[in-house]
Structure 1
Amino acid sequence: MFHRPRFFSRHLLPRLAGLLPNRTQSAPPTNAPKSAPFRVEDWLSIPVSNRSAAERFTRERQNRGQFLARQDRWDELAVEMAAADAARQVAPNGTPVTDLLAYGARSDVIQAVEHALAEEAPANSASLIDGVSGLEEVLKDHPGDAMLATIVALTHVDMGWAWRGTGWDSIVPRLNRERCAAHFDRAADLLAPYAHETRTSPFMAAARCALFAGRRIKNVRMADEYERLIDLAPNNHRHMRAMGTQLLPRWFGSYDELELEARRTASRTQSIWGAGGYTWVYFDAIAMDEEACARVDVEFFVDGLRDIVKARPDQEMVNLLAAYCAVALRNGMGLDEGADFVRAQICSNDRWLIRDHMTELHPLIWAHAADGFDNNARITSPSRFAARGRSDALHVIADLFRDEISRGLRVTFTPDGPRVEA
């Protein structure tokens, strides 16, 4: 069910006012000509990275997987994936290379399905069936290949999500729920023969954990499966974030279990992330669940933010954390008083993230933050999507420097951080 927004109480408003300033627009400088419209760009300059090294690498690996699939060079693709998985190869942003190759290999099928569903194509239309049927035929030609079986299983997982969407069960049509369940069941059948390989392969373990989003696995404790996955790939924060989401009561866990696993994860990954494991487990969970947000240990969470920056001080990570605090976490404001007070405390950390650590802007990260980092969000125009992210980020940054800008000072971001000058 949907939560109905509630107004702040008169007791909470004064506390929030000091923690969460209004960011709807930035004040123009006092010495600006009265007739001239205020433009953020005239008073704020920051390098914009439209295609970072990590994004270029990601695109290259995805294109490689897509190319090999289109050329029917499945044996070669399987070998490259197995080698990358065994060597734990990752992109500069931490994404496993095996995941990138696998996504590229199935991207044509998934994009065709998403387009067909957006156009409300009949359930038996060729665009919804032919692509995955072709991949199933590939498996018949390559029996026993774990990498290729996992690609097809993940294709079914993606198709299940495409049918279902991300709304609450009560608003998802029955046909869509049934098609989603059927695809998740098929994915589980495809992965079942490879239980032994799953124990040592982060790629396959992640695919097995992805099944939890659509079905329960008998006699399996979800948190145990994610713990094994995180131990296989502790540098990949995406697994911790996924576990936190799945531990919400709306899925397969409870608030007590979420807190327990967040602390356990922080302890097991302390040598890599410091307190960051706690933060990663709660990262998406508190953005979507008011009760989880109200319960989180704010001091522990913020310590984790600082430790994550110490572990990964690259600009992609800094932009991710800043956009999370400044945009994504603010999206839920107004739904619950207890959660709002916690959100305000965490959101205020965008100040030191931007002032002390940011040197360049990554618009796509900020645009995804506005959508709550929803992987299923449909992007019709990448250029407009990036432009929206850039605009949001510039107004957030300008607001953080509103005192300087209001005095007629210009803020310029350099490799050593922001510089304020007349």
Structure 2
Amino acid sequence: MRVLVRSFICLTSVVYSLNAFAGEAERNQAKKLYTSLTGNTPNKTTADYYENQLIKNGANATALEIIESNIGFYNITLKNFFTPMSNEDGTTFAKLNDTTALLIGATRDDINFFRVFWDDIMYQFDGELIVLENGKPRPPVPDTEEYRKKAETNDWYYLADLGVSVRMYNRTKNDMYEQAEAGNIPMGNKKYFKMTQQQAYTTKEAGAIAGIFSTRGWAEAYYSAGTNRASFAFFAKNFLCKEMEELSDTTIPDFRVRRDVDRTPGGSSKTYKTFCVGCHAGQDALGGAFAYYDFVDGTMVYNAHDIVTPQGEQAVVGPVAPKINANNLFPDGKITTSDSWINLWNEGQNAYLGWGSELSGNGAKSLGKMLAETEQVRTCLSEKVFKTVCFREAKNETDKKVVEQLAKNFDQDGSMKSLWIGAAVACMGE
């Protein structure tokens, strides 16, 4: 695995040297490394083993072994880390879904993590299709009433080594992921948790594919109500570590602000000019990328939208989702007619975020590629990982230097797994 050969030598100037400790210190390091990565406390046997591995193989190799040998890293640590990003409440208690699964899978397989913002990839659970053969479930599926009933629907997988079953992916339901979580299927297991493509699963529309932005979980969270502004707002919160108020810039021209934004809230245009426009000018300019998406009756909808006309007839309209232009509070405001987007924040007070090179484009995929290049994504995720494994925010100069170096490494190799290892090693000796 390529992560083994990566060097974290750049961190050594700000990390306590392993060789400076002996005996009890090394044991404490091993225990802390294990706990920070798995979310569990090691028993004596486990602590003994990883203490020896630490002495024998070094910190980076030991951290990697902990990750790959323990279900806790993928099923607990990463699940709790990524789940808040997939729901508006930001709770860790939400069910596993295809958004969270994609982020976990990309980490496990050590692909360039920034692909999750635009590429045609997703992760599903897999196994032996449960079917009847001579009136009984075909082996290795057990011959029980439960599995005979499941065979009738022809949409269940049996995971023989684990003795559990999950339903096939369904773009209208989250059953597969909830059943996998309930069955505690290890997401480090490449036999049962696999990368596949989104097209034909989340959608049949090739133009809709855009990494996490076209997963069912993301659509349910951020396209199900409102006018899809939530999609960028929560991306900013979770991957830029910025609330919309922090991005507010009233110097940005407002030619992309939609007509559903009142220009005289409370009867005064001053409120709009000194507050509302600060967020909407930049957000609406970027948010056009999501204009074709909706979430209706449990399903992500793209490009073709069912409506009932004033005459009571069924019709299909598009490509812009009808809700985008539904409210007309200011007739001279922007009417969205395409999925074009413009980055108006690449200059001015928000330029420091280091946006990607493209200044405009069409659709969530091209926007996702621009966001994938943005420097602040590296910094934000490095800060979040550091806080998770070190149990504190990076506030002093030493910690800030660690995060800065982690972000540089992350930018160079795109490895979320290496980011976790680097942060855990940086904090194991304190």
* TM category, shorter: under 0.3
Return the TM-score normalized by structure 2. 0.25
Determine which structure has more spread, i.e. the larger CA radius of gyration: 2
